[in-house]
Structure 1
Amino acid sequence: MVEKYNIRTDLALEEKERFESDHVEVQGVILTEEYDEENEIRITTVRIETENGAKVMGKPVGSYITIEAPEMAVPDEGYHEEISQQLRKFIGELLPKRKMEKILVVGLGNRQVTPDALGPYVVDNLHITRHIIEEYGKYATGEDEVWSVSAIVPGVMGQTGMETVEVIRGVVAETKPDILLVIDALAARNSKRLNRTIQIADTGINPGSGVGNHRNAITEKTVGIPVIAIGVPTVVDAATIVGDTMDNLLSAVEVSESLKGMASVIKGYSPAEKYELIKELIAPHLNGMFVTPKDIDETVRRISYTISEALNMLFAASAT
């Protein structure tokens, strides 16, 4: 049943948690955690080291770093600055170890749909330097060593009629960056992670996969240069919310003698079985629906600024 349990999430951490809840050990996948008590920030790294692990997890071999910050949706400037510092550190760790000077940032998503506008908003706040360096040299930026930063917002297929990876390949061929960094909105399994989690991966990204829109992957194999992906979950599958509500309901009715039998039967279902049951119960009206918080406009703009500040700090540092 586990293999049929096709949960809608882009987070490698949640895929690993799913197997743990089903008491399935995934060979070739290593999970490590660290916790910053002062700032209440949890860092989880999922490393998929084998092809077998990649097949089971449904994600490519590589590293997936998840920053969970419960207060990230709150307008606390000092807290967001701390997140930016952490983000800068972990992106730097995923950069290839060879010397790199030119980076192309791609803001994926649709600016007209707020939960999907994270990528374009991040690009809006970046310090772009490629045109200055091309025209006047790197010393015009006031630094001895500086990244050459360029960025694009390629839109979505409904706007351009082109696969995003086709647009990116053309830009990469023309501008020849050393590395590609893509930013996109993601889907989560746990509603508590919405707008409170950032995932960084060195494996690239499949735009729209979390909401069922399977576009061509943006990876080193498809674009020819290393790809680092940054994503924030902004939507959750309706079936997930119904499932969480059902669990809460079952916990409540366990105290009722007349309903205790029903609760014990459903409690005996595995997470996979419960998820499939819920999908059947809510179809066709809610099946395929995704939900986002009501304050998404303000929250996405705030988080986009947090990410862009991390990137601006990283790119202002000496080229590695």
Structure 2
Amino acid sequence: MLRNYSVRTDLALEEKERFESDDVEIQGVVLNERYDEEREMRLTRVEIRTENGAKAMGKPVGLYLTLETPNLALPDEENRREVAEELCRCIRELIGRHRKEEKDGLSVLVAGLGNREVTPDALGPYVADHLAVNRHVVKEYGKYAMNMEHAPVISAVVPGVMGQTGMESAEIIRGIVRETNPDLVIAVDALAARNSRRLNRTIQIADTGIHPGSGVGNHRCGMTEESLGVPVIGIGVPTVVDAATIVNDTMENFIRALESSESFKGVGEVLRSYNAGEKYEFVKELIAPHLNGMFVTPKDVDEMIRQISHTISEAINMLVTQA
């Protein structure tokens, strides 16, 4: 494999798939999968248990839950409710790994990360818009007066991006955490995917925090338990892929077409002999310099983001309504 092979992806599932495609088994990384055929919903658990596994995957030790459904962005109330309920169960599971729910419930700060002015990056702010925040009500009247003694206290913030505020999002969130003392932070952000078929069809929930901009090479300060002082659950949806990924996927389809052709079968077999890393680097060299570094999103991303943000906010609101 080429040394500089680096797939643009924020999804732990895709990192694990990359090693599987090269027939490499990673010690300390466990993958389990459950598929609901009736609801067309797949839940994959990637658990990184050791530091060696974390180094190989390029991601911190922790649990990564990936929920996939082709209906994620569809404007269907029943389907949205089903996805939201499954997502809420995933969030509860990750909360339970770090903190047992106490009699008085939890205090949760939701951080809607991203740039509201750039649609593929507006997922976090849109989710924050639809949250049923209640911290101000509890502070005014108390949990018992509102019959919310077992429900989490929810607050939300949209910190913007550095180009708008001149500050790292992590700096803003860290200051709010110190002032309001939440028990945990849920950070929602747009991600980058390796496979175009996962665009706006996948939700990753992880208990390792989140690193804004990492998928598009715009590395910012991470929001983790170490940096904020409280557990951080990251929720992300891939909304973009880089141009090299799209060309690489096209190349894979082209190779399969060549292999099925009697005239060009030999050419297809030669190209198939390259591993995933070599093919990806070859594609990057072909499209440079004009398309290298370009990221692509679906043409109807605005409607997709609206639908998905409603689903995620509904799942977080269920933490309160189903307490």
TM superposition score normalised by structure 1? 0.96
The answer to whether the 8 A contact 1:147-1:316 is kept is no
Question: Aligned equivalents of 1:123 and 1:182: distance in 2?
Answer: 10
Read off the aligned partner of 2:67 and give its amino acid letter.
Answer: I
The answer to whether the 8 A contact 2:84-2:312 is kept is yes
Deviation at 1:192, TM superposition (A): 0.8
Question: Aligned equivalents of 1:46 and 1:258: distance in 2?
Answer: 42
State the number of aligned residues: 318
Question: Aligned equivalents of 2:159 and 2:2: distance in 1?
Answer: 36
The residue number in structure 2 matching 1:271 is 276
Deviation at 1:151, TM superposition (A): 0.6
* Partner-residue secondary structure (3-state), 1:144: coil
The residue number in structure 2 matching 1:123 is 128
Q: How does 1:50-69 map to 2 (within 5 A)?
A: 50-69=50-69
Gaps of 5+ in 2: none
Query: Residue 172 in 1 paired to residue 177 in 2?
Result: yes
The answer to whether the 8 A contact 2:214-2:220 is kept is yes
The residue number in structure 1 matching 2:199 is 194
Structure 1 runs, 4 residues or longer, greater than 4 Å off: 255-258
Question: Aligned equivalents of 1:35 and 1:151: distance in 2?
Answer: 33
Tell me which moved more, 66-75 or 46-55.
66-75
Tell me which moved more, 46-55 or 309-318.
309-318
Q: How does 1:40-55 map to 2 (within 5 A)?
A: 40-55=40-55
Deviation at 1:3, TM superposition (A): 5.2
* Partner-residue secondary structure (3-state), 1:141: coil
The residue number in structure 1 matching 2:5 is 5
TM superposition score normalised by structure 2? 0.95
Question: Aligned equivalents of 2:7 and 2:312: distance in 1?
Answer: 27
Query: Residue 103 in 1 paired to residue 105 in 2?
Result: no
The answer to whether the 8 A contact 1:132-1:140 is kept is no
The answer to whether the 8 A contact 2:64-2:206 is kept is yes
The residue number in structure 2 matching 1:215 is 220
* Partner-residue secondary structure (3-state), 1:186: strand
Tell me which moved more, 137-146 or 64-73.
137-146
Read off the aligned partner of 1:74 and give its amino acid letter.
Answer: L
Deviation at 1:76, TM superposition (A): 1.8
Deviation at 1:314, TM superposition (A): 1.1
Aligned-CA RMSD value: 1.3
The residue number in structure 1 matching 2:82 is 82
Question: Aligned equivalents of 1:43 and 1:231: distance in 2?
Answer: 15
The residue number in structure 2 matching 1:240 is 245
The residue number in structure 1 matching 2:156 is 151
Read off the aligned partner of 1:66 and give its amino acid letter.
Answer: T
Deviation at 1:143, TM superposition (A): 2.9
The answer to whether the 8 A contact 2:258-2:268 is kept is yes
Query: Residue 27 in 1 paired to residue 27 in 2?
Result: yes
